[in-house]
Amino acid sequence: MNSNSEQPTVENPHFVHVAGASLHYGEDGEGFLALRDLSLDIARGEFAAVVGPSGCGKSTLMKLISGLALRTAGEVVVDGVSVTKPLKTVGMAFQNPALLPWRTVLENVLLPIQVVRPHRSEYRYNKAPFVERAKALLAKVGLAGVEDRHGWELSGGMQQRVSLCRALIHEPEILLLDEPFGALDAFTREELWGVLQDLWIERRFTVLLVTHDLPEAVFLANRVHVISSRPGRVIYTVDIDLPRPRTLDVSFTPRFVDYVHDLRSHISKARQVI
């Protein structure tokens, strides 16, 4: 929670460095090429978004960076270390909140604390500070007072907030979001954009957001990458130069709409390029 000590460092501009990475699923001869020659850099503390047609390997890119899947060629470096096995302190959230139904909201948020070293041993001896931290985080996303409820008692939007808290409680250096708001209604989605943006402004963690919602990418990200259809590679990158905090009103300004329009035209190209 000591956000004041977390200044974005400049000595390592490319916190995530992906260069010429390819990933081939299945054995040689069979299977398919999910990513081909993909290059992408994310600076420490940057909010990056990846958009592309469905089935373009956006989620595969996430697995590549987190080390859950291993590239077949190329370079994937996170924080100066080549990724060869799953990273240990990633925060993740998916379209499916995937909360544990037997745990209360608070216990769900505390799950990473029980797993990540060195928190897990500290937690065993002294739970109170972690519980405080979890409650504060839940309050920040507007979930004060539901700590002792179960996930399935909450609405989809609230579950997704819990999922976000779970992804952030251990203060990961990188947050990977795979269409986290994809299953929510439009109003809840917009509300959660604001929640996520506020958290990011306060803590400046590095984010990779995978989405197919172009306004979402423009609203949230500093930089948006467009990936072509399979085998996926980055075909267009644009910096979103809009002041923060961005409000919903901003999303109706010509500049915002221009960004979305520009991305949309590249998506159309991405769908044709094979």
| Positions that interact with another protein (CB under 8 A) | 63, 66-68, 86-90, 92, 94, 96, 98, 100-102, 111-112, 114-117, 150, 152-153, 166-167, 170, 176
56 vs 93, beta carbon nearer another protein: 93
Closest contact distance (angstroms) between CB of 160 and another protein is 13
Beta bridge partners of 175: 91, 207
Closest contact distance (angstroms) between CB of 108 and another protein is 11
120 vs 255, beta carbon nearer another protein: 120
66 vs 228, beta carbon nearer another protein: 66
153 vs 202, beta carbon nearer another protein: 153
What is the C-alpha to C-alpha distance for residues 37 and 56, in angstroms, rounded to an integer?
Answer: 13
**Terminal CA-to-CA distance of the chain, rounded, Å?**
46
In 3-state terms the chain splits into helix, strand, coil percentages (rounded to 5) of 40, 25, 35
| 260: CB partners within 8 A, 6+ apart | 214, 215, 218
Tell how far CA 234 is from the center of its chain: 18
**Helix (H) / strand (E) containing 110:** helix 105-115
Beta bridge partners of 242: none
**Burial class of residue 39, CB neighbours in 10 A (0-12, 13-18, 19+):** middle
Supply the DSSP string of 16-67, one letter for each residue: EEEEEEEEEESSTTSSEEEEEEEEEEE-TT-EEEEE-STTSSHHHHHHHHHT
Closest contact distance (angstroms) between CB of 230 and another protein is 20
Closest contact distance (angstroms) between CB of 121 and another protein is 13
210 vs 270, beta carbon nearer another protein: 210
68 vs 238, beta carbon nearer another protein: 68
Closest contact distance (angstroms) between CB of 47 and another protein is 19
Tokens of 15: 């916190």
Q: Is the peptide bond before 101 cis (omega within 30 degrees of 0)?
A: no
212 vs 271, beta carbon nearer another protein: 212
Closest contact distance (angstroms) between CB of 103 and another protein is 8
Closest contact distance (angstroms) between CB of 97 and another protein is 9
Residue 182 phi, psi dihedral angles, 5° rounding:
-65, -30
